[in-house]
Structure 1
């Protein structure tokens, strides 16, 4: 029995009892199919997104050609070719970026929820503005007060609407954008 650590996978590139020091055929095939699946995901992306990925010119052209291919068999062959070109690409960087695009950044979502909660707090509680000004000392207090006042007035008029009438959200959204701009300016510093 070879002296290998217990946490080493059985298909690792270490010699086994028979003297093989390469990955198994099955592992190579799994890796190639994973790259081909990644290539399929690239074919489904928009041109703008493709340009943001670290792709070689040859790979980018092959993906664009697959996007233009209408024949089922031609598309299958082109995707196979894209998978072959993926061997030389930085697959981990591509997967990471695709994951961010697909799932969205959880941190960004949480940040947006925090800003929405802060906006709602500002509309309910006058003391919340003091806390906001402590957190963002460079904030334009007069502009924020005007937006809060207009948003509250807007909410009152929306409460008096009849069923089927669309509520106004102009100042409500403007207040959110002002808070977001404050948050973005402090993150850049």
Structure 2
């Protein structure tokens, strides 16, 4: 039986340094700490092994400082066998929202502002989204326009009303989501 020897890297090392291994371990422990702080609903959405899931549940129950620290180390050890990048990505989406969601919200906001300014945009909207109920949607747009006109004439110390403005956004969002599903 022949042994395989690893080829050294450009610095003459045969693997990651001891310091790098330790940094990686601490990063996994930190990720484990974030998982411990998650709700059960979010934990269930992650693709975690059953062993890690049980260790996280145990860590959530432990209140003693030293016991929690040891359990956190154990969770970090179990994290070595998980796809840490996928978990980090999902946590980032939950924390910051995905770029796609942000782009979709900006599109809806722009569409709302256009509908408030231009009657031709309303016709184009119905062409793009034929499933929308024209009568109720026109009523919503009309109410938002009227509210915007009233807000323009308000005294400086009075807060503007945003009820119909928000309602128009939610209506557009619902129509766009229905169109994407269809």
Normalised to the residue count of structure 1, the TM-score between the two structures is 0.79
Mapped pair 1:182 → 2:169? no
Q: Find the partner of 2:105 among 105, 112, 134.
A: 112
C-alpha deviation, 1:111, in angstroms: 1.3
SS of alignment partner, residue 22 of structure 2: helix
Mapped pair 1:91 → 2:115? no
Higher relative contact order, structure no. (Cα contacts within 8 Å, ≥ 6 residues apart): 2
C-alpha deviation, 1:178, in angstroms: 1.7
Matches within 5 A, 1:1-189: 14-16=6-8, 22-162=15-155, 165-189=158-182
* Equivalent residues, number: 176
Identify if the C-alpha distance between structure 1 residues 61 and 164 changes in structure 2 by more than 3 Å, giving closer, same or farther: farther
C-alpha deviation, 1:53, in angstroms: 0.9
Normalised to the residue count of structure 2, the TM-score between the two structures is 0.82
C-alpha deviation, 1:21, in angstroms: 5.4
Greater CA drift, 140-149 or 67-76: 67-76
C-alpha deviation, 1:36, in angstroms: 1.4
The Cα RMSD (Å) is 2.5
Aligned to 1:3: none
C-alpha deviation, 1:23, in angstroms: 4.2
C-alpha offsets along residues 19-51 of structure 1, whole Å, 9 cap, x if unaligned?
Answer: 985544334333322221211111122222112
SS of alignment partner, residue 80 of structure 2: helix
SS of alignment partner, residue 88 of structure 1: coil
CA contact (8 A) 2:8 2:15 kept: no
- In the alignment, structure 1 segments of 5+ residues that lack a partner are 1-12
C-alpha deviation, 1:144, in angstroms: 1.5
